[in-house]
Structure 1
Amino acid sequence: MTETRRVLLVGYPAAELLNIACVVSTLQLANFLRGRSLYRTQLASPRGAPIRTATGLVVNAQIPLERAHGPLDSLIVVGGTGYVDAMNDERLVAHVRRLSRESRRVASVCTGAGILAATGLLDGRHAATHWDHAAYLRARFPAVKFDSDPIYIAENDVCTSAGVTAALDLTLSFIETDAGADLARDVSRQLVTYLHRPGNQAQMSMYTAPPATGHSVVQDTVSYIASHLDHDLSATALAKRVTVSERHLARLFLKELGVTPGRYVRRARTEASARLLTGTDLTVRTISSRCGFGTAEALRQAFASTYGVSPSHYRTTQSRSAASPRGRSASQ
């Protein structure tokens, strides 16, 4: 990476401030740590007007969108509550379409995917977006395969990300691709954040999602599962504990949570394992036992199914201790 890469962000009224800040701050920190200008970022808006963001704060654009031109390394369209008006703005969409042809890499953050979809660039592609807007965008753009699960999706030179702070994960992935994993790791440490999450990691974790059920039996069972991962959590054992039939418990879980008890248990164990892999130096074998998988191989299979990587790969790329000069003593 010898030349400065030009990065243009496209904003509009009611764009999300965090979308803009995550991208710009992350790239500027990469410049600072490398000691030279790896990236030159500019924020464009229609007519170069100041952008009143969704928070109410005003950000000054550096260039009118109409005057922006390539060649660009990266064109990034941000999201925000104003995205519907933006994707209905034919002039704005036309300029994004024009600039996409002059860019090596085109990306969207959050609901900015709607604007890329309006250009036709996402037709036939898989695209990530904010989970709460995916259904609307699927109905609006049936030619695009919107997915509400991944943090981000990279298909060759077109990248889309999930909501708000997923912009950070996407930008870190750009830095890793452009300048190497070491710099991406150093940037994430300076930002005091975890190393960027794999793109296929779910947006909504059961540890961050709000409670989705008001049924006492399901609440009690979910609470028990979370605190007894290494116990017998078979459907038979769980049903017996709450004195209902297995069939009735399965119906309650499907109605309240959208998954069977068995799938919920597997997900809870996998996410707990992920937290231990990134937050401790416990061996994979110990973690698999502590989280109820029984064997390291069972844990590996669950990780391959959920995250698309092995536990050791997840730990290497996601753990803060992976960047420590002392390294890890844990066996993989």
Structure 2
Amino acid sequence: MKKHNDTRPRLVSRPQKRVVILGLAPVSALDVIGPAEVFTYANRLCMGDTPPYRLELISSTDNVHLRSETGIGLMAHKTLAQERLDSPPIDTLIVASGARSVLALDREAIAWVGTRVEGVRRVCSICVAAFALAATGVLDGRRATTHWAKAHELAQQYPKVNVDANPIWIKDGNVYTSAGISAGIDLALALVSEDLGDDIAMEIAKNLVLFLRRPGGQAQFSVTLQSQRAAGSGLEDLCVWISEHLHRELTVEMLADRMATSVRTLIRLFQKELQTTPAKYVEDVRLEAACRAFEMGGRSMEEIARRCGYNSIDVLRKAFVRRLGVTPREYAQRFAPQSPAVRTYG
């Protein structure tokens, strides 16, 4: 019988890396499962004497049944107390938490992370678990990111951390922090790419139906959700009006007149309610509207630029490159339906 050729990547024999995910209960389930799937796919894809990764989930509590915010329990390999007794060295330590667990951090778990940081090759946080890393002091003087909605709070609570809310993930030395939830998958792909190369990481991304390197940053997701924080304030109606009149010239003076208030008062309201300026908010809404238009397809670049308030295609292009790191054409190629209209984007 003719044998089928095995096209899986062949891995040169090398020591197995122990990847430990520490779950701070109640944990966000996707923060655990997302990165775990990436390392598991790497083990499936690579052929060799041993899989490249030994993946373990550790519960911060005294129970291997790790509670998640969804109510669906996760089964850890061991508890933190068991890990302390006698365990192999850790190559990569990933801390995962949840919105509630970072409100009352487990001090014993934080202290343990602090003692292990110097002995691991890489230490990482997923989403709001950046608060846990910050509590150990390891982020002091480093660039770090977290979920965009928590970035301001992280910066206020830990002023020694250089918080950047836009990137999907950040590497500073051997410390890695990732943005909101699904960004943990992006980070895990980057870690695999460092260890095993882009070919294997790309194959994993294809299997998970993901981009190996997602274009842009959190800026492409946050504006509409951010504006919801204005609900119940004097800005709520104005934010809706802005989104419906992007084709107009929206100066700060015009917006202040719309609110029947002074420019100074309007700026103060935006800073208080949305932690931004009126001009920056308009810029963000324009960019988000343009992104959504490209994703839907069916319109020319000229029409999208006009509808979203950009004076020219060149101004639109510069906005995309400055904020997302890609041109409108590159963005459309990644996200738009593959229709003839999309293929004409310049």
2:30 aligns with 18
- CA pair 321-204 structure 1, distance change in 2 beyond 3 A: closer
Q: Distance in 2 between matches of 1:251 and 1:14?
A: 37
How many equivalent residue pairs?
323
- CA pair 101-191 structure 1, distance change in 2 beyond 3 A: same
Aligned AA (2:181): V
Which of 69, 74, 90 is 2:88 aligned to? 69
Which of 197, 205, 230 is 1:213 aligned to? 230
Q: Distance in 1 between matches of 2:298 and 2:195?
A: 30
Which of 125, 130, 133 is 2:142 aligned to? 125
The yes-or-no answer on 1:319 pairing with 2:334 is yes
Asked whether the equivalents of residues 8 and 76 of structure 1 are also in contact (C-alpha less than 8 Å), the reply is: yes
- CA pair 110-235 structure 1, distance change in 2 beyond 3 A: closer
Q: Distance in 2 between matches of 1:94 and 1:250?
A: 42
Q: Distance in 1 between matches of 2:286 and 2:28?
A: 34
2:181 aligns with 164
Deviates more, 1:58-67 or 1:199-208: 199-208
The yes-or-no answer on 1:53 pairing with 2:67 is yes
Aligned AA (2:331): R
- CA pair 65-243 structure 1, distance change in 2 beyond 3 A: closer
Q: Distance in 1 between matches of 2:193 and 2:170?
A: 15
Q: Distance in 2 between matches of 1:173 and 1:182?
A: 12
Asked whether the equivalents of residues 128 and 153 of structure 1 are also in contact (C-alpha less than 8 Å), the reply is: yes
- CA pair 283-147 structure 1, distance change in 2 beyond 3 A: same
Deviations 1:200-237 (A, max 9, x none): 42386122336233578744432233233233333455
TM-score, normalising length from structure 1? 0.75
Aligned AA (1:221): L
Aligned AA (2:67): T
Structural mapping, 1:136-215, within 5 Å: 137-138=154-155, 141-148=158-165, 150-178=167-195, 187-188=204-205, 190-191=207-208, 197=214, 200-202=217-219, 205-209=222-226, 211-214=228-231
State the percentage of identical aligned residues: 31
TM-score, normalising length from structure 2? 0.72
Asked whether the equivalents of residues 32 and 96 of structure 2 are also in contact (C-alpha less than 8 Å), the reply is: yes
Q: Which runs of 5+ in 2 are unaligned?
A: 1-10
- Post-superposition offset of 1:24: 0.9
Asked whether the equivalents of residues 34 and 182 of structure 2 are also in contact (C-alpha less than 8 Å), the reply is: yes
The yes-or-no answer on 1:302 pairing with 2:314 is no
- CA pair 223-112 structure 1, distance change in 2 beyond 3 A: closer
Aligned AA (1:315): Y
Q: Distance in 2 between matches of 1:214 and 1:112?
A: 28
Q: Distance in 2 between matches of 1:312 and 1:203?
A: 13
Q: Which runs of 5+ in 1 are unaligned?
A: none
Aligned AA (2:58): A
Q: Distance in 1 between matches of 2:140 and 2:296?
A: 40
Structural mapping, 1:58-97, within 5 Å: 58-63=73-78, 64-66=82-84, 67-70=86-89, 72=91, 74-80=92-98, 81-83=100-102, 86-89=105-108, 92-97=109-114
Aligned AA (2:59): S
Asked whether the equivalents of residues 15 and 83 of structure 1 are also in contact (C-alpha less than 8 Å), the reply is: no
Q: Distance in 2 between matches of 1:188 and 1:218?
A: 41
1:7 aligns with 19
Aligned AA (1:52): L
1:108 aligns with 125
